[in-house]
Amino acid sequence: MATREEITSGLAEILEEVAGVNPDDVAEEKSFTDDLDVDSLSMVEVVVAAEEKFGVKIPDNEVQNLKTVGDAVSYIEANH
């Protein structure tokens, strides 16, 4: 089981690769859209990469609930 910190840092790696987000800016309270400037197409890439990295399924109807990095961490923590 990965810790919340490990999941956050894994997401930071993906966000850097896909959208050029500085890993130092990635924290649980940050919003993907408003704070990290991740557009809708890049968010799709983040989700697909996160599924692979953490061995989870993130259905499309779940993605709209993942507003912040913390939301994503919680979902991954609960489902992997």
Chain residues in the site for another protein (CB under 8 A):
18-20, 41-42, 44-45, 48
* Nearest distance, CB of residue 16 and another protein, angstroms: 9
Which residue, 5 or 17, has its beta carbon nearer to another protein? Answer: 17
Active site residues: 39
Alpha carbons within 13 angstroms on the beta-carbon side of residue 52 total 6
Q: Are 32 and 49 in contact (CB under 8 A)?
A: no
* Nearest distance, CB of residue 66 and another protein, angstroms: 16
